[in-house]
Chain A
Amino acid sequence: EDQVTQSPEALRLQEGESSSLNCSYTVSGLRGLFWYRQDPGKGPEFLFTLYSAGEEKEKERLKATLTKKESFLHITAPKPEDSATYLCAVQAYTGFQKLVFGTGTRLLVSP
Chain B
Amino acid sequence: DAGITQSPRYKITETGRQVTLMCHQTWSHSYMFWYRQDLGHGLRLIYYSAAADITDKGEVPDGYVVSRSKTENFPLTLESATRSQTSVYFCASSGLAGDDEQFFGPGTRLTVL
Binding partners A and B: no
